[in-house]
Amino acid sequence: SGSMWLYRWYYSNACQRALNFTIFLILALAFIETPSSFTRTADVRYRSLRWEPPCGLTEAVEGLCLLVFMADVTVKCYLVGRAQFQKNVWLLAYITVLAVSVVDWTVSLGLLCQEPLRVRRLLRPFFLLQNSSMMKKTLKCIRWSLPEMASVGLLLLIHLCLFTVLGVLLFTGEVQDEQQRKERLTYFRDLLEAFTSLLVLLTTANNPDVMMPAYSKNRAYAIFFIVFTLIGSLFLMNLLTAIIYNQFRGYLMKSLQTSLFRRRLGIRAAYEVLCSMTGAGAPQAVGVMPQDFLQVLQKAQLGSSHKQAIMQKVRSFDETLLSADEFQKVFREVDRGVIIEHPPRPWYPSPFLQSAQFLVGHHYFDYLGNLIALGNLVSICVFLVLDEDVEPRDRDDFVLEVLNCAFVLYYLLELLLKVFALGLQGYLSYPSNLFDGLLTSVLLVLEVATLAVYRFPHRGWKPEARGLLSMWDMTRLVNMLIVLRFLRIIPSMKLVAVAASTILVLIRNLRAFGGILVVVYYVFAILGINLFRGTIVAPGNSSLALTNGSVHCGSFEQLEYWANNFDDFAAALITLWNVMVVNNWQVFLDAYRRYAGRWSQIYFVSWWLVSSVIWVNLFLALLLENFLHRWDPRSHEQPLSGTHV
């Protein structure tokens, strides 16, 4: 019973939340540790000296986190038991990672934080990974699809190599022409250069450029590039998507089924236990006494609405014993979606108030509100168009400010009327009202603050900046909030609302994938910091960087990508994002090859493979899976067929 207590305590909400917070904390340390991300900009030209945490600060937090993890691993080992423990690879890896981290932490403290390499920073994402069963499952799924992906990858490699050799042979003929010479010198100078050009063309990031010099010479050369893109980008890359989707198809379904199966098994076990307790005296009448059931139910952790529904059902059995089948059926309630019941509207005695309540409660009133919000948006747009050539300091905001005041007053009125019609409880039970009300109150506070600081608006009203925000910034903030408030119209359009709700459901289901993305980003960012920290040097400070006059178009320097570096964690994340989006990534390849060396291309290409090829396809696969599951009419008729135990 001691271990039972430990088990319950360990899987209690509070304990799990504490563990999650610890994981979040140790991951967030990367922003604070040397090199910290606390500068206004990441641009090497304008970056101020960064604040560095004193030695021991982050290490103390990290030490605490590691202590929590040690407690966690001890409890887990105890709960799993010796026999299971030796088979559990994840648990063994957890202990190893923890040991390495502690050793590295000790070394770090011993060297007074001057150590050149921190291995434990690379290992941190493991703590996130091992704590989520969904992420482990997803990893397994990815591992299963690796062989098929490797086959397409090999095909892709053959495709690339063949076209590289063909391209080099094609574009190194007798140089009769300036254009052909240019093609050769820019994109097909040697095999490696040609391979890189075509690899980038596979992502279409240098599409018209790479074909332009040759195509300008002769139309027929375009065929080479179009055939390459057709086979590579359209066929082979999409085949990768298909393979990943094939692996993940039914993934959601399967995981739903297994969790349902486990629950059914648990219910059946509970029935057997309760049965043996009551049925000891009368062996011929097998079943569960409703009173026993209710007693147990009181202590069980369940959503209150579900608990209420189950209790009501059980009470209807009176004194008769529940059979196994009935026992299972009672728990079907848990599978049902929760229907939020809105509290009843307040009743007003006066007929005038009653009709007012009817008017406000009618959905035409909502439409009116939407129309007013649209009007407000249009008025802001009109002023933006009118003022577009005027410098911000010369703008006369009198009319706009008066209009905004009027609109905010209307929003306030709408809020009050709705509270009057639905009651405060009823008003808050709608999420859309919550969103509306929150924004309206923030808007009200901002407007009142503006009026308090800058007085009533009048013509030619150009107050100086006072306090935290200038008048102009206040207005801008108000306007932005109004624009956001306009989102309330989405639920009014049925098809759009369905699409929007699909996305919201998707985001909830995507946590495991988000976790894997965090892990991948974290590892690559830390790696990038270790490899490339300080390689990008501000122009003028470096002999490598060309002077401003001679930079050629399309280079890192001309495009002023100075902020895309690996000098701290936040900057590294943004740089990785920009490479993941793939557009213009050849600029990064080129710049880091010049600044850091040719080997840096391996880092960027592997990041492209992991993020853009695997992760984006994974995302698409999950989106398709979720979407088809949701919109498929069959899935609603028999939501989880074949899982009824």
Identify residues 123-152 at the interface with a second copy (CB under 8 A): 147-148, 150-152
Can residue 435 be called a binding residue for a second copy (CB under 8 A)? no
Which span (107-115, 232-240, 366-374, 430-438) binds a second copy, by CB under 8 A? 232-240
488 touching a second copy, by CB under 8 A: no
Of the ranges 346-354, 444-452, 578-586, 597-605, which one interacts with a second copy (CB under 8 A)?
578-586
Q: Can residue 554 be called a binding residue for a second copy (CB under 8 A)?
A: yes
Site stretch for a second copy (CB under 8 A), options 306-314, 329-337, 444-452, 490-498: 490-498
Q: Determine if 92 is a binding residue for a second copy (CB under 8 A).
A: no
Instruction: Enter the tokens of residue 304.
Output: 């209150």
Evaluate whether 202 touches 195 at the Cβ level (below 8 Å): no
Using the rule CB under 8 A, give the single segment among 49-57, 114-122, 238-246, 422-430 that binds a second copy: 238-246
> Which of 561, 431, 404, 570 lies closest to 490, judged by CA?
431
Nearest to 121 by CA among 537, 561, 639, 522: 522
CA angle 520, 526, 531 (to 5 degrees): 120
46 binds a second copy (CB under 8 A): yes
Token pair, residue 37, equals 């991300």
Nearer to a second copy, 354 or 541 (CB): 541
Q: How far is the CB of 399 from a second copy (least distance, A)?
A: 17
**Using rule CB under 8 A, residue 486 touches a second copy:** yes
The residue with tokens 């101020």 is 48
Residues 523-552 that bind a second copy (CB under 8 A): none
The reply to whether 296 sits near a second copy by the rule CB under 8 A is no
602: its two tokens: 């391996």
How far the first Cα of the chain sits from its last, in Å, is 30
Alpha carbon 212 to its chain centroid, in Å, reads 38
Stretch in the footprint of a second copy (CB under 8 A) among 28-36, 94-102, 161-169, 265-273: 161-169
189 binds a second copy (CB under 8 A): yes
What distance in Å separates the CA atoms of residue 523 and residue 515, rounded to the nearest whole number?
A: 12
Burial zone of 83 (CB within 10 Å; 0-12 exposed, 13-18 middle, 19+ buried)? exposed
CB of 217 or CB of 418, closer to a second copy = 217
Is the bond preceding 54 in cis, omega lying within 30 degrees of 0? no
Q: The tokens of 281 are what?
A: 């005296």
CB of 503 to a second copy, least distance (A): 5
Among 13, 54, 82, 174, contact with a second copy (rule: CB under 8 A): 174
Nearer to a second copy, 245 or 427 (CB): 245
The DSSP string of 329-366 is: HHTHHHHSPPPPPPPPPP--SSHHHHHHHHHHHSHHHH
C-alpha 126, offset from chain centre: 18
For residue 620, the minimal CB distance to a second copy (Å) is 5
8 A C-beta contact, residue 379 and residue 387? no
506 binding a second copy? (CB under 8 A): yes
User: In the set 270, 435, 627, 635, which binds a second copy (CB under 8 A)?
Assistant: 627
The single residue among 191, 409, 416, 445 that binds a second copy, judged by CB under 8 A, is: 191
- Contact flag: residue 238 with a second copy (CB under 8 A): yes
Contacts of 440 (CB under 8 A, 6+ apart): 408, 411, 412, 414, 415, 485
367-386 binders of a second copy (CB under 8 A): 377, 380-381, 384-385
Instruction: Please identify, among the stretches 2-10, 355-363, 456-464, 620-628, the one whose residues bind a second copy according to the rule CB under 8 A.
Output: 620-628
Contact between 574 and a second copy per CB under 8 A:
yes
CB of 434 to a second copy, least distance (A): 20
Name which of 358 and 367 has its Cβ closer to a second copy: 367
Find the shortest distance in angstroms from Cβ 179 to a second copy. Answer: 8
Nearer to a second copy, 351 or 633 (CB): 633
- Please choose, from the candidates 579, 576, 492, 588, the residue with its C-alpha nearest in 3D space to the C-alpha of residue 536: 588
Q: Is 595 helix (H, G, I), strand (E, B) or coil?
A: helix
User: Cα–Cα distance between 611 and 621 in angstroms, integer?
Assistant: 14
Tokens of 311: 């209790």
* Residue number, 12 or 246, with CB nearest to a second copy: 246
Instruction: Write out the DSSP string of 10-49.
Output: HTSHHHHHHHHHHHHHHHHHHHHSSSP--SS---TTTPPP
Size of interface with a second copy, in residues (CB under 8 A): 115
Closest distance between a second copy and the C-beta of residue 496, in Å? 5
Least spacing, CB of residue 495 vs a second copy, in Å: 3
Provide, rounded to whole angstroms, the least separation between the CB of residue 472 and a second copy: 6
Site string for a second copy, 311-350 (x = CB under 8 A): ----------------------------------------
Q: Tell me which DSSP letter residue 537 carries.
A: -
